[in-house]
């Protein structure tokens, strides 16, 4: 059987609050294979960013990793020291944070920010670091003189490209992009998405992309996971999920996408629950139009339906997670 490049096993990332733990990412298992583009979708607050920050061990208090493993090159990343993890983070496993284009330091020129970042993760000289920065800017389609500019001198789309260049300049194996192309006009979104896909081919990147917009998943992802209430409810090849969604929540998400055929897209009834108090049984049952008695009490496991599709829903009885 094919070995995953990175495997997330039963990852739980919680936040300590005065009301108890917010169980934001609550038992996620995923396998990501080399060279694929893997999408993660789900409503706001379902734990997508928490999942990615957990994998990269970037949680800040009150967030913490409750349990789970992330296996990369045969090692559990959670067992590495911070120093050991730092050698892998960015060099091999890169990250574009949500809202990245606003994460640049407004008082430093692009050159200083990129060089600082490169020097803190490598043993290269300042001259070499500048060369790496220039090559990275070129590979995202930005002209050389951008290196001498301050963030406020760049458009939002350009700032986003600088962030993509910074994240990929050390030619990582895998990149986790958290909404890497949002908050821009659609033309710029598309251009920046194409930039990431171009880098994927150029440096052999594996891409994990968190995005609300199902259109991006349809366009570039090979496989995807749908998250709801801190868990994965369905995963499989994108085409199959779009053509034949199994979980009623996936169906709801797809029906919520506007199209010319449906003048008014259907929304999913009710609101997403709080991670302080997930509903018992299937967490989606209070909003599910196919709810059965069992759904109120028994939490469905993620089960194998056919060769590559998994779904956590009592409507289906498949094999176990492998």
Ligand X SMILES: Nc1ncnc2c1ncn2[C@@H]1O[C@H](COP(=O)(O)OP(=O)(O)OP(=O)(O)O)[C@@H](O)[C@H]1O
The nearer residue to Mg ion, 98 or 103, going by C-beta atoms, is 98
Choose which of 37, 39, 50, 173 interacts with ligand X (CB under 6 A).
Answer: 50
Q: Which stretch binds Mg ion (CB under 5 A): 63-71, 93-101, 133-141, 300-308?
A: 93-101
| Count of residues that interact with ligand X, criterion CB under 6 A | 17
Q: Are 73 and 258 in contact (CB under 8 A)?
A: no
If one asks whether residue 245 binds ligand X (CB under 6 A), the answer comes out as: no
The nearer residue to ligand X, 45 or 156, going by C-beta atoms, is 45
Binding mask 204-243 for ligand X (x = CB under 6 A): --------x-------------------------------
If one asks whether residue 56 binds ligand X (CB under 6 A), the answer comes out as: no
Q: For the CA atoms of 82, 60, 52, 174, what is the dihedral angle to 10 degrees?
A: -30
Choose which of 47, 177, 180, 252 interacts with ligand X (CB under 6 A).
Answer: 47
Separation of alpha carbons 223 and 307, rounded Å: 13
The nearer residue to Mg ion, 100 or 206, going by C-beta atoms, is 100
Name the nearest CA neighbour of 303 among 322, 285, 289, 281.
Answer: 322
How far apart are CB 261 and ligand X at their closest, in Å?
26
Q: Which does 291 bind (CB under 5 to 8 A by kind): ligand X, Mg ion, none?
A: none
If one asks whether residue 49 binds ligand X (CB under 6 A), the answer comes out as: yes
Name the nearest CA neighbour of 182 among 154, 227, 214.
Answer: 214
Structure-block tokens of residue 218: 């349809």
Name the nearest CA neighbour of 142 among 195, 197, 209, 203.
Answer: 195
If one asks whether residue 98 binds ligand X (CB under 6 A), the answer comes out as: yes
Name the nearest CA neighbour of 231 among 162, 265, 291, 278.
Answer: 278
If one asks whether residue 24 binds ligand X (CB under 6 A), the answer comes out as: yes
If one asks whether residue 17 binds ligand X (CB under 6 A), the answer comes out as: yes
Q: Which region, left, alpha or beta, applies to residue 74 given φ > 0 means left and ψ of -120 to 50 means alpha?
A: left
Separation of alpha carbons 255 and 76, rounded Å: 38
Name the nearest CA neighbour of 48 among 212, 163, 167.
Answer: 212
Binding mask 262-301 for ligand X (x = CB under 6 A): -------------x--------------------------
How far apart are CB 61 and ligand X at their closest, in Å?
8
If one asks whether residue 49 binds Mg ion (CB under 5 A), the answer comes out as: yes
Cβ neighbors of 82 (< 8 A, separation 6 or more) are 57
Q: How far is the first Cα of the chain from the last one, in angstroms, to the nearest whole number? A: 11
Give bridge partners of residue 94 from the DSSP assignment. Answer: 175
Judged by the rule CB under 5 A, the positions of this chain that interact with Mg ion are: 48-49, 98
- Note the residues at the interface with ligand X (CB under 6 A): 15, 17, 22, 24, 42, 44-50, 62-63, 98, 212, 275
């Amino acid at each position: 059987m094919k070995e995953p490049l990175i495997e997330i096993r039963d990852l739980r990332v919680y936040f300590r609050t005065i009301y108890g733990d917010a169980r934001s990412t609550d038992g996620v298992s995923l396998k990501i294979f080399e060279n694929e583009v893997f999408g993660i979708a789900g409503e706001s607050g379902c734990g997508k960013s928490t999942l990615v920050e957990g994998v990269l061990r970037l949680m800040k208090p009150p967030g913490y990793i409750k349990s789970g493993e992330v296996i990369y090159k045969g090692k559990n990343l959670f067992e590495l020291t911070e120093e050991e993890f730092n050698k892998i983070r960015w060099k091999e496993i890169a990250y574009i944070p949500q809202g990245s284009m606003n994460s640049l330091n407004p008082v430093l020129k692009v050159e200083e920010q990129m060089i600082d970042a490169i020097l803190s993760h490598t043993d290269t000289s300042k001259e070499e670091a500048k060369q790496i920065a220039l090559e990275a800017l070129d590979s995202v389609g930005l002209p050389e003189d951008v290196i001498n500019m301050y963030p406020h001198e760049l458009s939002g789309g350009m700032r986003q490209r600088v962030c993509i260049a910074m994240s990929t300049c050390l030619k990582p194996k895998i990149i986790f992009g958290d909404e890497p192309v949002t908050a821009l006009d659609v033309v710029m979104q598309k251009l920046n998405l194409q930039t990431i896909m171009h880098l994927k081919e150029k440096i052999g990147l594996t891409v994990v992309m968190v995005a609300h917009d199902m259109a991006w998943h349809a366009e570039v992802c090979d496989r995807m996971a749908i998250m709801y209430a801190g868990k994965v409810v369905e995963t499989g090849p994108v085409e199959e999920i779009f053509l034949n969604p199994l979980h009623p929540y996936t169906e709801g998400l797809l029906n919520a996408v506007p199209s010319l055929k449906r003048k008014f897209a259907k929304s999913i009834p009710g609101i997403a629950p709080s991670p302080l108090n997930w509903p018992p049984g299937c967490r989606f049952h209070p909003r599910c139009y196919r709810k059965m008695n069992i759904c109120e009490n028994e939490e469905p496991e993620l089960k194998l339906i056919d060769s590559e599709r998994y779904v956590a829903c009592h409507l289906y009885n498949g094999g176990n997670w492998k």
